[in-house]
Structure 1
Amino acid sequence: PDSSPLGHPTPGSLHLTAHHLVFKRDDVDASTDSGDEVWIPLTLLHSVTRTPPSLTGEPTPLVLRTRDYLTYELSFASIADADLAWDTLKAQCGTLSSGGLEARYAFAQPRRTAKGEGEGDGAGKGKGRADGWEVYDVEKEFARMGMGTRSKAWRFTNVNADFQFCPSYPAKIVVPAKISDTTLSYAVKYRSKSRIPGLVYLHWANLGSITRSSQPMVGITQNARSIQDEKLIEAIFTSHSQHSHALQPMHQIVYGATPSNIIIDARPTKNAYANSVKGAGTENMLYYRNCKKEYLGIDNIHVMRSSLNGVFDALADAESTGTLDRAALRRTNWLSHLTNILDGVLIVVRTVHLFNSHVLVHCSDGWDRTSQLSALPQLCLDPYFRTARGFAVLIEKDWVSYGHRFADRSGHLCNDRVDFVHKLGTDASTQQAFLASVTRQFAGSSHAFKETCPVFQQFLDCVYQVQRQFPTRFEFNERLLRHLVRETYGDAQGTFLFNSERERAELDARSRTASVWDTVFDPATGTLKPEFRNPAYDPALDDPHRKSPDADQGVVLVDAHDVRWWHELFGRDDDEMNG
């Protein structure tokens, strides 16, 4: 067949492995290593479209679109070859999805030469090799924030050491020092999926905090309460008056004379109250002192999935018409969703930094919107998280460790995650195939498909917006963000394969799979690879003692309404998408 991985027709042969579709070019010397093969992970496929030759003039093409917004057109010399490729690809995608996580390419690659070189023993250090799994050390990270030194108000609890307390939480949770494990054992019953409020960030300037949880189980009448949950949140909101030594933001106006603690419910108000049919909902503020509550109105995973699918459709239409319909892009509301998220980020940043206060963030179960709204403010508040290693720590801490459901949201175990579309032809068989496809769409997708959503990609898009507004404040460049989008949907590393730290431990991922950070940092030196470095980065701008009219102490305030299409990710020119 012919393929177009380089933007022009290229003769070659097609090979299908258990995990990849491989196109080998005929016009390249096999002894060279100059891009003679194109490897497409099957997990990276978004759609496969078969178009009858009568509509295109080409012999039975297949059009492949990937989740990192590349398009490949495969043209075959015969209908029989096209049939074989279509049927085999469809069957292999289904087999891969039903094979479980251990069937993924991450487990098929050799990770270590011996089991003894696995987790926690300094594997490879004697050989001068860095290990991506060691990027995040929970105790070192919270010590860096000042826990145990500048603040004695917090402690680690091992109540979840065996993941029985909360299966989707990390083994080590940071809670107020004055709250006992006994109190936690009662408070846990009041939070959906047992996801109690846990600390994720202590602010360097004033020891304000960001904590995260799931929604409270307030009962169908919305009046159920938990004294233990109320005590836990009160302890959080009074934490920086307990044995703490906080610096003060260097502003002419001293903020925070009156605490402005906030409980942020990321959902639209109606969605929060709709959860009452499950006995859940939102906090009754009569029972929570010295704080207020704000709803952010950020839509759920179903709305976000539909929104990005609309972007895919608009880009696909542009390939056939030759013109990108910006009105169609606007109708997806993708940029509006980013604005809503960044509006919430700004509330958190101002509350913590300017008002010397604390924020508790939750949505429903606390692993989607909550992860966005806990991680993004930290990126703005702490320059460390704008370094490459700090960014890796942030993702490991707030996404991987705190149980974002990567397997579900990326559709790793979803049989219908790849959309196979057989366009209408003139013969009866193609018409039947088309009608079957339409019937499936109207009948509804599987439960697994309905759990898919580009939540983490949306987070990376928000990072892109901050990075674009503050181009000198990031050690890493936009290319790293695109790389992480690809790795989110790919299955070559173990980092983004699982729903929780517990699942990762059960399958011994640290010793059996590679970390995504092995692809970001040089394995010999541990430094950021050159292709991901930002040459405009100026860390001196983040000095909190810098004397300048534009000094900001290293805290960046993002403009939530200055959002643009991430044209580099979508493979388009800036002018074409943003005008």
Structure 2
Amino acid sequence: MDKIRISKVDDVNIIRRGITLQGTLHLTPHHLIFSHIPASPTEDASGIPQKIRPKELWITYPMIASCTYRPAPTASHQQPSIRLRCRDFVFVAFHFLDERPARDAYETIRSLTCKLGRIEKLYAFSYRPQSPEKHVNGWDVYDPVKEWQRMGVTEEAPGAGWRISHINTDYQYSPTYPALLPVPATISDNVLNYAGKYRSRVRIPVLTYLHPINNCTITRSSQPLVGVRGNRSIQDEKLVAAIFASSKPRILSTQSSQTEFDSSPEPSQVEAGNASLENSMTDTEALEDEVLWRASAGSGSSEHRTYGAQQHNLIVDARPTVNAYAMQAVGLGSENMDHYPFAAKAYLGIDNIHVMRDSLNKVMDALKDSDLTPLPPNREQLARSGWLKHITSMLEGAALIARQIALQHSHVLIHCSDGWDRTSQLSSLSQLCLDPYYRTLEGFIVLVEKDWLSFGHMFRHRSGFLNSEKWFVIENERLGGVGSAGSGSGLNPSGGGNAFENALLSAKGFFNKDNASRDSLAESDGEMTPFDVSPSSRKRNATAKEGAQGDREVTKVKETSPVFHQFLDATYQLLYQYPTRFEFNERFLRRLLYHLYSCQYGTFLYNNEKDRVEAKVKERTRSVWDYFLARKAQFINENYDPLIDDREKGHERLLLPRVNEVRWWNEVFGRTDAEMNGPTFNSVRSSPGVLTGVETSETSLGAGVPDIGAPSMRSSNRVASLGSGLSGLTLSGKGRGPRGSRSPGPPRPEMEVEMQ
């Protein structure tokens, strides 16, 4: 291995939480291993000394979030050191006796971390499991056909008005979508072909969850290509209408409405609706709009209303309103509700990947000295990070969606920009609230496979498995100068000022604060696309950049973001609030986050189903679920009561997050509960709400629910007001009758490292 300058260094001191130990540092092709002998031998029950076994700290290279090398100052007695900050929030410092082995160790770590060049060189492709993993096959846990059958959708006999389309079997229709797409049975593949031209990356609205009690659905998509000209697609409108009519009672169905969904559009209509859209594809996500549908026997009729006849369907756009409107300038945007009169839309105001990366960066700042000192983190810094506010926003959105499905018996379509970050968070969290199956160990695995892996969350881009040289810093060197080995992206090229402070600031590359990212946005969820650069120019620039780099893959720092981490954190909140409703325990979530970055398994290494198939991941690597299924007893919640949700009535299956009880997941940050959630902990109860607007075909943004945008109203009140306000909206079938009055309703009650 030419990348390994040195494989073993003796007499190295490690400092962790202010405790210093002496041992040996081993640098292997895939792990950094520090081993030391305990100071005193242990004794068994009879008092006989036991054989002393070395203790080991294993760190896989992709786990490194930043690495700072500090040479020994000239004519001083200080030792050279390497400080590591890891993505599982392990903070350690290594101190060496001599400069040469310290420098060689740093260069070796840097080379093995960020000079691999290709995903196939990661540990997963050489890992060979031992018992008990050897006899487990986690790749077989998720079968999409079986999961759709569990919900009542089958290929042979479409159930509940749904069928499985094979239009994407070869991944040519939508490369980032799964091969099998559940769509309304009344919609043909021909309609899908035209509708796909109106959604970013051809990520059309498709089914992800069918409620077994009322046949209401969660569907997901990307944003529409509305643009400044107000483009529309008759086929997209027809698809969304068919989704929202899929659970309509038969007694209210008419031959005319059935014919409307079956009919194909005229070619002239298609060309007019999509002519300006073909070259408008960019990478941002679409918002999910809250949709309102009132299916009634007739306007003003006094006829008895059947179950499900009055629905308040919702399109949920996860983005802030201003972001969604700004996207129209680059050919994107959000649904014009004049063309979706059967629906209402809500903007949730959840920030983009750049804001989330910056938030976690601030959390890291509050914990950054965890190697040198045992002192607790700075509580004010933690509060200023906004991390809990973001987790609360996600849970509020999930609660809104779950209420619409379970209590309002309505349908919900979710989207953000491209529909693979915030959409995955909201979709999976709302299903956790709705379906007890997903709260079992097997069900949670199926949920992650379905809503994250199959629906194309960009794990490779968001997680930065190949690391970046920007995260490696040498202090006291001109980081931007020629010949500075291991140079990163220093914030102070002149090298002036406090070198130690500058180096720490430079090491923040993984959690970059720049919201106006101008990295290649072809794979980004950040909405701040530069308006002065056309999509065709961006494509040419990206192609030229890729050609210059050859086959070497690199991490785009500004596309990294803790999206999946946030989902696990929000799941932890539900588990903490409902400790008897989940079969798995907190440790399961923590170890899953660890193995997201360990790159020991092939599950999370690629961005979508197509990439995994082409890379033959199932044949060449092991599934991460092997690890958990082989050790299932370690991850079972001893408080789990499976009988609580074993009821026939739907409302007894539902759980809703108590957003005023959101807390720090202290275990994942390697801290005690008292350190992060102690008596002086500032909760997020006074944080401003995230809901930024409600829109229907009859009312403009923000006019639907009184005081919905008032800064003083708590976010939980605002989301509850939306839920109650939607039930007051009325929309007639074809025409638009007067809208009923609405008023806001009352708020609803509502460090561990292991050898692998």
Alignment partner for residue 159 of structure 1, among 150, 160, 167?
167
Other-structure match for 1:9: 20
Other-structure match for 2:341: 289
Other-structure match for 1:66: 86
Shift of 1:381: 0.3
Q: Distance in 2 between matches of 1:412 and 1:343?
A: 31
Other-structure match for 2:670: 571
Other-structure match for 1:249: none
Q: Do the aligned partners of residues 182 and 393 (structure 1) sit closer, same or farther apart at CA in structure 2, a change above 3 Å counting?
A: same
Residue 367 in structure 1 maps to residue 420 in structure 2: yes
| Paired amino acid for 2:667 | E
Deviates more, 1:371-380 or 1:140-149: 140-149
Identical columns (%):
46
Other-structure match for 2:7: none
| Paired amino acid for 2:213 | A
Shift of 1:16: 2.0
Q: Distance in 2 between matches of 1:35 and 1:464?
A: 34
Alignment partner for residue 61 of structure 2, among 42, 54, 63?
42
Q: Distance in 1 between matches of 2:487 and 2:609?
A: 42
Determine if contact 2:469/2:488 at 8 Å carries over to the other structure.
Answer: no
Q: Do the aligned partners of residues 574 and 58 (structure 1) sit closer, same or farther apart at CA in structure 2, a change above 3 Å counting?
A: farther
Q: Distance in 2 between matches of 1:5 and 1:13?
A: 15
Corresponding residue pairs, total: 540
Secondary structure, counterpart of 1:9 in structure 2:
strand
Shift of 1:277: 2.3
Deviations 1:16-68 (A, max 9, x none): 23322122335699x98956433211000111123455799752221211111
Q: Distance in 2 between matches of 1:54 and 1:466?
A: 50
After TM superposition, the score normalised by the length of structure 1 is: 0.87
Q: Larger helix proportion, structure 1 or 2?
A: 1
Other-structure match for 1:263: 315
Shift of 1:288: 0.9
Residue 351 in structure 1 maps to residue 399 in structure 2: no
Deviations 1:529-565 (A, max 9, x none): 111110000011112248xxxx951210111232101
Shift of 1:512: 0.7
Other-structure match for 1:557: 656
Secondary structure, counterpart of 1:530 in structure 2:
helix
Secondary structure, counterpart of 2:668 in structure 1:
helix
Deviations 1:369-404 (A, max 9, x none): 000011000001000000000000000000000000
Shift of 1:472: 0.6
Secondary structure, counterpart of 1:293 in structure 2:
strand
Other-structure match for 1:216: 224
Other-structure match for 1:135: 141
Determine if contact 2:176/2:609 at 8 Å carries over to the other structure.
Answer: yes
Other-structure match for 2:609: 501
Higher alpha-carbon Rg: 2
Secondary structure, counterpart of 1:377 in structure 2:
helix
Q: Distance in 2 between matches of 1:225 and 1:439?
A: 49
Residue 105 in structure 1 maps to residue 123 in structure 2: yes
Secondary structure, counterpart of 1:170 in structure 2:
coil
| Paired amino acid for 1:449 | V
Q: Do the aligned partners of residues 241 and 435 (structure 1) sit closer, same or farther apart at CA in structure 2, a change above 3 Å counting?
A: closer
Q: Distance in 1 between matches of 2:201 and 2:477?
A: 49
Secondary structure, counterpart of 1:538 in structure 2:
coil
Alignment partner for residue 300 of structure 1, among 331, 346, 352?
352
**Gapped runs of 5+ residues in structure 1?**
113-123, 245-253, 523-527
Determine if contact 1:388/1:476 at 8 Å carries over to the other structure.
Answer: yes
Residue 229 in structure 1 maps to residue 337 in structure 2: no
Deviations 1:491-511 (A, max 9, x none): 110111100000000010011
Determine if contact 2:37/2:53 at 8 Å carries over to the other structure.
Answer: no
Q: Do the aligned partners of residues 6 and 576 (structure 1) sit closer, same or farther apart at CA in structure 2, a change above 3 Å counting?
A: closer
Q: Distance in 1 between matches of 2:224 and 2:124?
A: 37
Q: Do the aligned partners of residues 7 and 368 (structure 1) sit closer, same or farther apart at CA in structure 2, a change above 3 Å counting?
A: same
Q: Distance in 1 between matches of 2:651 and 2:489?
A: 58
| Paired amino acid for 1:183 | V
Alignment partner for residue 399 of structure 1, among 452, 455, 464?
452
| Paired amino acid for 1:102 | E
| Paired amino acid for 1:558 | P
Matches within 5 A, 1:107-506: 107-110=125-128, 129-148=135-154, 151-221=159-229, 223-241=230-248, 256-317=308-369, 322-416=375-469, 419-424=471-476, 437-439=490-492, 448-506=556-614
Q: Do the aligned partners of residues 6 and 301 (structure 1) sit closer, same or farther apart at CA in structure 2, a change above 3 Å counting?
A: closer
Q: Distance in 1 between matches of 2:666 and 2:129?
A: 35
Other-structure match for 2:723: none
Secondary structure, counterpart of 1:351 in structure 2:
helix
| Paired amino acid for 2:29 | A
Q: Distance in 1 between matches of 2:34 and 2:582?
A: 36
Q: Distance in 2 between matches of 1:578 and 1:175?
A: 45
Secondary structure, counterpart of 1:199 in structure 2:
strand
Q: Distance in 1 between matches of 2:173 and 2:209?
A: 22
Q: Distance in 2 between matches of 1:255 and 1:270?
A: 38
Matches within 5 A, 1:505-520: 505-520=613-628
| Paired amino acid for 1:490 | S
Other-structure match for 1:250: none
Other-structure match for 1:535: 638
Q: Do the aligned partners of residues 32 and 110 (structure 1) sit closer, same or farther apart at CA in structure 2, a change above 3 Å counting?
A: farther
| Paired amino acid for 2:459 | F
Q: Distance in 1 between matches of 2:600 and 2:405?
A: 38
**Gapped runs of 5+ residues in structure 2?**
1-11, 42-49, 252-305, 494-505, 521-555, 679-756
Q: Distance in 1 between matches of 2:608 and 2:326?
A: 27
Deviates more, 1:193-202 or 1:551-560: 551-560
Deviations 1:149-176 (A, max 9, x none): 7933111111001100000000111111
Determine if contact 1:212/1:370 at 8 Å carries over to the other structure.
Answer: yes
Secondary structure, counterpart of 2:629 in structure 1:
coil
Q: Distance in 2 between matches of 1:34 and 1:209?
A: 56
Q: Do the aligned partners of residues 18 and 404 (structure 1) sit closer, same or farther apart at CA in structure 2, a change above 3 Å counting?
A: same
Deviations 1:114-159 (A, max 9, x none): xxxxxxxxxx9xx994310011011111111122479331111110
Q: Distance in 2 between matches of 1:317 and 1:270?
A: 38
Determine if contact 2:15/2:372 at 8 Å carries over to the other structure.
Answer: no
| Paired amino acid for 1:540 | L
Q: Do the aligned partners of residues 46 and 154 (structure 1) sit closer, same or farther apart at CA in structure 2, a change above 3 Å counting?
A: same
Q: Distance in 2 between matches of 1:486 and 1:318?
A: 18
Q: Distance in 1 between matches of 2:32 and 2:162?
A: 50
Determine if contact 1:187/1:226 at 8 Å carries over to the other structure.
Answer: yes
Deviates more, 1:432-441 or 1:278-287: 432-441
Deviates more, 1:383-392 or 1:537-546: 537-546
Shift of 1:320: 5.1
Determine if contact 1:542/1:552 at 8 Å carries over to the other structure.
Answer: no
Secondary structure, counterpart of 2:68 in structure 1:
strand
Q: Do the aligned partners of residues 468 and 27 (structure 1) sit closer, same or farther apart at CA in structure 2, a change above 3 Å counting?
A: closer
Shift of 1:420: 2.2
Q: Do the aligned partners of residues 307 and 465 (structure 1) sit closer, same or farther apart at CA in structure 2, a change above 3 Å counting?
A: same
Shift of 1:233: 0.4
Deviations 1:229-283 (A, max 9, x none): 0010001001012779xxxxxxxxx985521100000000010111112200000
Q: Distance in 2 between matches of 1:88 and 1:128?
A: 31
Secondary structure, counterpart of 1:259 in structure 2:
coil
Shift of 1:305: 0.4
Deviations 1:515-539 (A, max 9, x none): 01000102xxxxx611111000001
Determine if contact 1:376/1:463 at 8 Å carries over to the other structure.
Answer: yes
Q: Distance in 2 between matches of 1:133 and 1:240?
A: 33
Q: CA RMSD in A?
A: 3.1
Other-structure match for 2:498: none
Q: Distance in 2 between matches of 1:436 and 1:269?
A: 34
Q: Do the aligned partners of residues 6 and 193 (structure 1) sit closer, same or farther apart at CA in structure 2, a change above 3 Å counting?
A: same
Q: Do the aligned partners of residues 382 and 436 (structure 1) sit closer, same or farther apart at CA in structure 2, a change above 3 Å counting?
A: closer
Q: Distance in 1 between matches of 2:134 and 2:594?
A: 28
Other-structure match for 2:703: none
Q: Distance in 2 between matches of 1:128 and 1:103?
A: 22
Q: Distance in 1 between matches of 2:400 and 2:54?
A: 47
Residue 89 in structure 1 maps to residue 115 in structure 2: no
